Each structure stands twice: as structure tokens, then as C-alpha cells.
Amino acid sequence: MRLLPLLSSALVLALSGTSFAQDWNEFSSREDRFTIVFPGRPEISETTWVSQYSAILPARIYSGRQGSGRYTVTVVDYNPIERLLSERSRTLPALDLAVHEYGPGYWKTDVRGAALFAAAKYLQRDGKVEHLLSNFADLVAGVQLQFVSNADQSRNYVSIYMHANRLVIAEAIVPKGYPPPLIFQQSLGWLDEKGQRIRYRYMNYNEPNAPPLPPPGR
């Protein structure tokens, strides 16, 4: 499913100008297991992310610019969350509080709801959500939304997925009147543990053992 229709290669080049061939390149992160077309080589910064159940998780932000457009991919590593929330549940003074709010199994709910939790953050911003719907990229299920800022009427095009226990938020912010950043939105893909591009056989809901499609010709 795609929120916006595909454009022809000629039209994409026309919208992007001659700098497309110079500045836009396919970027891959084997560590965070994704690939995407970025304007130039992105800058990478380390940060943290607070989950729905207040676990503090490591995250990276890959960022770049093209003209007045800003492009980021935020990747949050949810792999430590079982240990973090289980350890915290054992430190709470009252057992009933641990069971009902931060019990040992609540990390599963945190992981399952991570994409929805990230999308909800945009509903709290000062602006208007024009579209919010389910989506998928190479059969990894997720959420896609379009948001217009009240401050400057800039548009946010956001895609949110969970893959390999990593929350991936691809966000493009362009000024009012700019064409949609289709080359960025529609190029997001996934890598296996060896860094090879994969596409799943069935819809993947953050399932680590889901079978990928076989290589072409088999």
C-alpha cells in the first residue's frame, strides 16, 4: 500500500532538479538493518527514546538536507526492553503495582504498540494531521501519516515501522508548495543480519523468523 501514487522517473528528476543525480544516494545501515535513498551521506547522532512504559532506549538519528527539505530516519533499539522493564518491576515496593503497571510481561505490550505510540506523538503537535493510515514497506507493516505544521505550513511525511525489534521512523519535512518527497518515502527497505536486502513472503509484524522471498530465479 502506498499513500501517494508513483511518479515516472522523468517527473521525479524534473521535480528534484539536476542535483538528484549528484546528491541522492542509496544508504544502508547494516547495524540498524534498513536501507533508504538519502540526500548525500547522512549525519549520524546518538540519542535516547522513552517508550510508552518509560523505558529509556538507545536510538540513532540519520539526518540530511536537500534544499529546504529536511530528512531523518530515527531508529530505536527495542531489544533491551525486556531486561529493562523486568529489572524495574523487581525494584518496585509493592507487588500489585509491579503486576498491574510494570509487570514482567509488559515489555511485550511496549514492543507491540511502539509504532502506534510514535504516531500518537504527532497528534500532540501544533498542527493538522491530514492522513493517518496503515501501510507497509516491502511487506513490513506500519503506519504512515501526513502532518501540516500550524507555524509555517510545512509538511511532514512520516512512515513508522517495527522491524527486527527496531522502531524505524522515516520523516521528511518540506516547505509549503514543495512536491511530495516520494524518492525518500518509497525507497525504504530492510536488511537481514548479514546486510542483504530482503523482502518478506508474507506481511511481517515484527516477526524475526518470518520467511523472506527466495532470491530471483529460484
Q: Rounded distance, CA 176 to CA 20, Å?
A: 20
Amino acid at 158: V
Q: Rounded distance, CA 190 to CA 188, Å?
A: 7
End-to-end CA distance of the chain: 26
- Would you state the pLDDT for residue 171? 97
| Residue 15, C-beta contacts closer than 8 angstroms, at least 6 positions apart | 7, 179
**∠ Cα 63 111 208 (to 5°):** 85
Mean pLDDT of 31-42: 95
Q: Where are the domains of the chain?
A: 9-197
Task: Look up residue 117 and give its three cell numbers.
Answer: 505510540
Q: Rounded distance, CA 47 to CA 28, Å?
A: 19
Position 149 confidence tier, pLDDT thresholds 50, 70, 90: very high
Instruction: Choose between 207 and 205: higher pLDDT.
Output: 205
- Would you state the pLDDT for residue 106? 81
- Would you state the pLDDT for residue 208? 78
Its CATH architecture, for the domain 9-197, is: 3-Layer(aba) Sandwich (3.40)
pLDDT at 204 over 70: yes
Max CA distance (Å), the chain: 64
Mean pLDDT of 125-136: 92
Place of cell 540526500: 39
Position 82 confidence tier, pLDDT thresholds 50, 70, 90: very high
pLDDT at 160 over 80: yes
Report the candidate in 82, 81, 61 with the shortest Cα–Cα distance to residue 73: 61
Instruction: Choose between 184 and 11: higher pLDDT.
Output: 184
Weakest mean pLDDT among 16-20, 118-122, 139-143:
16-20
- Say what the pTM is: 0.84
**∠ Cα 31 32 33 (to 5°):** 95
- Would you state the pLDDT for residue 154? 95
pLDDT digits (tens, 9 = 90+) for 4-36: 444 444 344 334 443 444 489 999 999 999 999
Q: What is the mean pLDDT of the chain?
A: 85
Task: Look up residue 16 and give its three cell numbers.
Answer: 528534484
| Residue 18, C-beta contacts closer than 8 angstroms, at least 6 positions apart | none
